[in-house]
Structure 1
Amino acid sequence: MAVSLKQLVNYCNSLLSPEKYRDYCPNGLQVEGRHEVGRIISGVTASQALLDRAVELQADLILVHHGYFWKGEAEAITGIKKSRLQTLLANDISLLAYHLPLDGHPQLGNNACLAEQLGLQVDGGLEPDNPLSIGLTGRLVQPLTALAFRQQIAAALGREVLHIEGGPERIETVGWCTGAAQGYIDQAAALGLDAYLSGEISEPTVHNARELGIHYFAAGHHATERYGVQALASRLAQEFDLEHEFIDIHNPV
């Protein structure tokens, strides 16, 4: 089966409401390819490796979380940017990208999907007064020691997890925000949470965790953001009877 590119993009935009977010890149259709879509390849980042794999698999559309045209980057179409765009245009493949809207969606978003992976019960937003809060707060079904929780995260995501000890002996309440959201540790501590989890870590994060009295877990930017694109692409495949394959281009960060 196939669906028009316009219909597919309109469906995604209606579902994710990108116009509500102030983001660092354009959300939605970033590169226009053929007008009919029958096969989708999804991935975290629109790297050259993902594009080449999509060409091999004869994809009509690539759906990613990290696309192109970020604020502050060089505008000239040279080097890596030229190669990537040339691959898409030469093969008539569309690139569809959703950043913050895909982080924040209550069912298909990276944070909602990460909660499912880790067995976390969602209680609310990390920014309680913000209806578009990206991060979430919740709790473990059963309180765990910090070591046990780190092991649970590592098993679920298939990677080592960095733990900075700072909170209570047993963890029950948790805040989380995927990707490079380590700065929200202050907000998590202000809410009185036992632990905060994100993808990346910065030098100040270590001191903040220790001094604020909260555990911090860095579980990988890529690893924590693999699930939203899969959920969205699976929804599209089911809704429009399309072929879909997720390609996980390994990234240790």
Structure 2
Amino acid sequence: MSLPLYELLDLLNAELKPAQFSDYCPNGLQVEGAGRVEKVVTGVTASQALIDAAIERQADLLLVHHGFFWKGESAPIVGIKQRRIKALLEHGISLVAYHLPLDAHPVLGNNAQLGRLLGVNKASPISADDPSSLVWMGELERPCSAPEMQRLLEAKLGREPQLISGGSHEVKRVAWCTGAAQGYIDQAALAGVDCFISGEISEPTVHSARELGIHYLAAGHHATERYGVKALGEWLAQTQGLDHTFVDIDNPV
């Protein structure tokens, strides 16, 4: 089955509601390719390796979480950016990207999917009345130590997270935000959780965790953000009958 490109974009925009977000990049169509879409490849970042994989699979559309044209980056289409865009245009592949809207979606989003993967109960945004809220929280089925929480994340994500201990307490209530979200640790601590999980860590995060008395786990930017775009592609396959393939380009960060 295939769909006109702009009909598919209308479906995605209606589901993800990008107008509700003030983002660092354009959400939706970034590079226009074929007029109809039958084969969709999804992945985290529109790297050359992922674009090559989409070409190999004869995709009509590449759907990602991290696309192009970020605020603050150099505007000229030269070098890496030129080669990536040239490859997409030469093969008629549209590039569609959703950043914060895909983080926040209540079912298909990165945060919702990570909570589901970890088996967190009562998972919901900390700011329940804010549809663009990015920090989620919930409860583990049973309390565990911080090292046990670290091992759970390693088992689920396939990489060892970095643990910064915030004390000797067990973990029962957890907050998380995928990707580069270490700055939300203060918000998590105010919510009274025992542990905060994000993708990346920075130097001040260590001191915040120790002084706030909250365990912190840096589980990997890529590792925590594989699941939203994959779920979005599976949703398109199930609801629209499109051919979907998720391609995971390994990234240790």
Number of aligned pairs? Answer: 253
Instruction: Using the TM superposition, give the Cα deviation of residue 121 of structure 1 relative to its aligned residue in structure 2, in angstroms.
Output: 1.7
Instruction: Using the TM superposition, give the Cα deviation of residue 232 of structure 1 relative to its aligned residue in structure 2, in angstroms.
Output: 0.5
Alignment of 1:200-239 (within 5 A): 200-239=200-239
1:178 alignment partner in structure 2? 178
1:157 alignment partner in structure 2? 157
Query: Cα–Cα, structure 1 residues 24 and 232, in superposed 2: closer, same or farther, change >3 Å?
Result: same
Contact 2:32 2:93 (C-alpha < 8 Å) held by counterparts = yes
Alignment of 1:28-177 (within 5 A): 28-127=28-127, 130-177=130-177
1:158 aligned partner, one-letter code: G
2:249 aligned partner, one-letter code: I
Q: 2-side partners of 1:151 and 1:3: how far apart?
A: 43
> 1:212-232 deviations in whole A, cap 9, x for unaligned?
000000000000000000110
1:132 aligned partner, one-letter code: S
Q: 1-side partners of 2:101 and 2:189: how far apart?
A: 25
Unaligned runs of 5+ in 1: none
User: Could you say what secondary structure the match of 2:172 adopts?
Assistant: strand
Instruction: Using the TM superposition, give the Cα deviation of residue 123 of structure 1 relative to its aligned residue in structure 2, in angstroms.
Output: 4.3
> 1:69-102 deviations in whole A, cap 9, x for unaligned?
0001111010011001000001110001000000
Contact 1:168 1:194 (C-alpha < 8 Å) held by counterparts = no
User: Could you say what secondary structure the match of 1:249 adopts?
Assistant: coil
1:210 aligned partner, one-letter code: R
User: Could you say what secondary structure the match of 2:142 adopts?
Assistant: strand
Instruction: Using the TM superposition, give the Cα deviation of residue 68 of structure 1 relative to its aligned residue in structure 2, in angstroms.
Output: 0.4
> Is residue 251 from structure 1 mapped to residue 251 from structure 2 by the alignment?
yes
TM-score with structure 2 length normalisation? 0.98
Instruction: Using the TM superposition, give the Cα deviation of residue 126 of structure 1 relative to its aligned residue in structure 2, in angstroms.
Output: 2.9
Contact 1:110 1:228 (C-alpha < 8 Å) held by counterparts = yes
Instruction: Using the TM superposition, give the Cα deviation of residue 238 of structure 1 relative to its aligned residue in structure 2, in angstroms.
Output: 1.2
1:20 alignment partner in structure 2? 20
Contact 2:115 2:123 (C-alpha < 8 Å) held by counterparts = no
The Cα RMSD (Å) is: 1.0
1:251 aligned partner, one-letter code: N
1:8 alignment partner in structure 2? 8
Q: 2-side partners of 1:124 and 1:2: how far apart?
A: 34
Query: Cα–Cα, structure 1 residues 123 and 52, in superposed 2: closer, same or farther, change >3 Å?
Result: closer
> 1:156-198 deviations in whole A, cap 9, x for unaligned?
0000110000044211001100000000001111111100000
Report which stretch shifted further, 124-133 or 150-159.
124-133
2:54 aligned partner, one-letter code: A
Instruction: Using the TM superposition, give the Cα deviation of residue 122 of structure 1 relative to its aligned residue in structure 2, in angstroms.
Output: 3.4
Contact 1:167 1:194 (C-alpha < 8 Å) held by counterparts = no
**Identity rate of aligned residues, in percent?**
57
User: Could you say what secondary structure the match of 1:196 adopts?
Assistant: strand
1:160 aligned partner, one-letter code: E
1:82 aligned partner, one-letter code: Q
1:215 aligned partner, one-letter code: H
